[in-house]
Amino acid sequence: MFENIRADIMRVHRSNETLSLIDVLYSLWVNYGLQALVIYRFGRWLNGVRKHCISWPFTIPLYPVYWILSAWVRSAYGIHLDQSANIAPGFYINHFGGIEIRNCIIGPHCNIQQQAKLGPAENTDMGPVIGEGVWIGAHSRICANVNVGDGAAIGVGAVVTQDIPDRCLVLGNPGRIAQRDYDNHALL
């Protein structure tokens, strides 16, 4: 849990150097997406240690804490990171409001913006599988079981309905590949 949170905070600061405690506390206070992400990691950790029976006396009182915190983040900031999503370290949420992530696998160093929705299509189980270093723009929607390749950029307002290869820029509704071999390094 702590390594993942550390990677997320590093991502907020855009640096690989060591951070002081003041930096960490300040970024937690200012960055609402980071607060939501820390609470999500806490819930994942609770679910992970559940298989060791010896930890039950310590973790059972922590479950209500997690429920209250996650409900508060959902209602106050509108960021819904469901426990069924598998988010790799180094995730960054840019703004708040209307973010929904469930039943999907997200690679390391991804970036997401407000009003983006990631999840399965209706009446299905599996959502999208997203690669490494993907930039997902505001108001975009990936609600299907598709693969998004490493280094892709999902443009603002795009609706992805098909598999996306590596390093592609997707735009429009329905999403079309606007440019191949696109470098999203400046966006991340």
Partner 1 sequence: MKPLAKDIDVVHVTQPMTRTSVVTHPLSGHNQHSHWQISDKVSKDIGIAHLRRWPNRPMNPVSRLWLLIVSPGLRIILIHRLAHWLYLKRKNGGKLKWLWDAMLIPIGLLKLTMMKISAKSDIAKDCEIEGGVSFSDQGNIIFGATKTGTGTVIGPRVTVGTGHADMGRPEIGCNVWIGSDCVIFGTIRIGDGATLLPGTVLSKSVPAGVVIQGNSPRLVLRNFDNSELRKRQDLDVMQYMDAQLRN
Summarize as ranges the residues that interact with partner 1 (CB under 8 A): 32, 76-78, 94-98, 113-115, 138-139, 156-159, 171-173, 186-187
Alpha helices by DSSP H, listed for the chain, are 2-13, 21-30, 32-48, 56-59, 62-77
Is there a cis peptide before residue 174, judged by omega within 30 degrees of 0? Answer: yes
The CB-of-112 to partner 1 minimum distance in angstroms stands at 10
The CB-of-49 to partner 1 minimum distance in angstroms stands at 31
The CB-of-144 to partner 1 minimum distance in angstroms stands at 17
Cβ proximity to partner 1: between 4 and 114 the closer is 114
Cβ proximity to partner 1: between 47 and 173 the closer is 173
Q: Do residues 173 and 120 lie in contact, with contact meaning Cβ atoms separated by under 8 Å?
A: no
Burial class of residue 185, CB neighbours in 10 A (0-12, 13-18, 19+): exposed
Cβ proximity to partner 1: between 108 and 157 the closer is 157
Q: Do residues 6 and 28 lie in contact, with contact meaning Cβ atoms separated by under 8 Å?
A: no
Q: Is 136 helix (H, G, I), strand (E, B) or coil?
A: strand
Cβ proximity to partner 1: between 8 and 46 the closer is 8
Alpha helices by DSSP H, listed for 90-136, are none
The CB-of-154 to partner 1 minimum distance in angstroms stands at 12
